[in-house]
Amino acid sequence: MNTMRYKLFGRSGLRVSELSLGALTFGEEGGQGADKTESEKVFRAYVERGGNFIDTANKYNEGTSEIWCGEFIGRERDRFVIATKYSLNMRRGDPNAGGTHRKSMMQSVEASLKRLKTDYIDLYWLHQWDDNATPLDEVLRGLDDLVRQGKVLYLGISDTPAWRVAQANTMADLRGWSPFVGLQIEYSLIERTPERDLIPMAQALGLAITPWGVLGQSVLSGKYHTAADPKNPPGSLRVKGTAARITERNLGIARVGAEVAKEIGATLPQVAIAWLRTRSPQIIPILGARTQAQALDNLACLDITLPPELVRRLEEVSRIELGHPHDFLRRQRIVEQRWGGTQGRVEGLPGYVIEGP
């Protein structure tokens, strides 16, 4: 059994474990979580493997997740890296109870500090970009104020277009404000579209990448890849957030993943998480679990290594079109136009994937 190793978090000196524990399931208000006893078992299973990086949010189960995280950590608060988020609305009907603007930011951080029973937050995520309703400089200056006040140590941004993140960090660097050091996105064998722009952007800017939905909204949990069976038709699946993902393509990915898992004596979730870990050293998957058994199974991904041929097999079945201009720039004829046949003789040039004329 391998003990958790640690990574530097993006362009910072912060040390975080190579897997993060997602606390979305801590609480039952959303109908998908666990009670307090089981949530604490999940937490302890993660800590026993050396984990120190807890990911929660003010909105998770209407604040219960933050409250329980604070209680589970207790007197060992300084040992842990606590990440929480703001921008989701906490009072329905009140337009200022959510969003990325300064009022929402300030009331959110104060409420999170109280629920977590701490006087500082290690990593503060902007949870969702709010349709450009708030000027970018207002967001960045407000977050920088929180860092200067010592209420927040580092900043991250989640579920935001790549161009906006790049613009934000460029502005922060030019004005001497605190930059984002992490990017949180949905990424899995099922959802590979971040490979078009978000992941290359994060790699170029040195951002840590913390994927959520690593099991493809449960499609890679091992429960649904036989859903095409007449006894369990796709239309019968009513799991929140999962039914829309039950497509022939995604079921095919799950079946191949299950075959790979069988070959190496692992489970499908372990293979799905292990594949993510091969994509970039900047990736720190967020593991979510409703039971201790699920947590232990997911954490066992640390004990497996995917041979290169099996990685290629998973990538082939889950491959997506990158779209314009990415696929265009990789065409053999277009590459030849730029390099005149010398591309294979230039040191330091990224390897080209030549696809079609």
Catalytic positions are 60
Dist. CA 297–CA 77, nearest whole Å = 26
- The residue among 134, 123, 122, 190 whose CA lies nearest residue 158 is 123
Q: Which two tokens stand for residue 310?
A: 């099996």
Helix then strand count (H, E) for the chain reads 12, 10
**For the chain, how long is the longest CA-to-CA vector?**
65
Cβ-proximal residues to 114 (8 Å cutoff; 6+ apart), any chain = none
Provide φ and ψ at 86, rounded to 5°: -140, 165
Distance CA(92)–CA(173), nearest Å, equals: 36
Give yes or no for a contact between 352 and 343, defined as CB atoms under 8 angstroms apart: yes
Classify strands 152-158 and 121-126 as parallel, antiparallel or unpaired. parallel
User: For residue 37, how many other CB atoms are within 10 A of its CB?
Assistant: 8
Place of tokens 């997911």: 298
Residue 50, classed as helix, strand or coil, is coil
Are the C-beta atoms of residues 81 and 16 closer than 8 Å to each other?
Answer: yes
